[in-house]
Amino acid sequence: MKVLAATNNAHKIREMEQILSQTGIELVTPKSIGLSLEVVEDGNTFEENARKKAQEFSQASGMVALADDSGLTVNCLGGAPGVYSARYGGEGVLDDAGRVQLLLKNMRGKEDRSAAFVCAIALVFTDGTSIEVKAECRGKIAEQPAGEGGFGYDPVFVPQGFDRTFSQLTAEEKNAISHRGKALEKLRDCIGGRL
């Protein structure tokens, strides 16, 4: 089954392709079908943003669309950066490394470093029906970045049960425990009969 990835984020597409490789879902990129679409992520929750992206990409392409909205929630920051994870510090102002540095600055002196990566996924079919799932990966924020892999906040996120950041894990290790991996696994279980 061909499914359109409702994102222009190459890192997310690569992770989703790796996780979905054994499912019978062939992920199609917007670029590969000549679709240029930017969706305004103005929802108050990860679920609202994922649903909106999947709906708009599906309507624009006439294809089944899969959207992911994910982010980091940090307890001592009241759940921030949350749905603003990719825009932390302002829209288009900081790159991944800049957002990580801002996060560490805002956490300076905080004893509670607990956090969670959250992922909401919406799969919207051409008839407008959808399947939505959500998952999280709990952990803590490291004192400083470590590792070369991953993207976003991966260099400072240490998942529960590990002493390494997401960036220090192999892609296979990360995908097996990550918020995105767990959410896509839930999705796979839900769609069984619709493939």
> Hey, what amino acid is at 3?
V
pLDDT value at 194 more than 80: no
Q: Which own/partner pairs from 50-53 qualify as long-range (CB within 8 Å, at least 24 positions apart)?
A: 50/120, 50/121, 50/122, 50/132, 51/122, 51/124, 51/130, 51/132, 53/6, 53/7, 53/122
Query: What confidence score (pLDDT) does residue 165 get?
Result: 98
Q: What is the pLDDT of residue 164?
A: 97
Residue 96: which residues within 8 A CB-CB, separation 6 or more?
151, 152, 153
pLDDT at 159: 98
Judge whether 68 and 119 are in contact, CB under 8 Å. Answer: yes
What percent of the chain clears pLDDT 90, i.e. is strictly above it? Answer: 82
69, 127, 154, 189: the catalytic one is 69
pTM: 0.91
> Which string of DSSP letters, residue by residue, matches 5-17?
E----HHHHHHHH
- Whether residue 22 is predicted with pLDDT greater than 80 in this model: the reply is no
Burial of 53 (0-12, 13-18, 19+ CB in 10 A): buried
Answer yes or no: 163 catalytic: no
Q: Is the pLDDT of residue 8 over 80?
A: yes
Whether 195 shows a pLDDT value over 80: the answer reads no
Which tens digit of pLDDT belongs to each residue from 65-99? 999 999 999 999 999 999 999 999 998 899 999 99
6 neighbors 13 (Cβ within 8 angstroms): no
* Length in residues, the chain: 195
107-161 pLDDT, tens digit each: 999 999 999 999 999 999 999 999 999 999 999 999 999 999 889 999 999 999 9
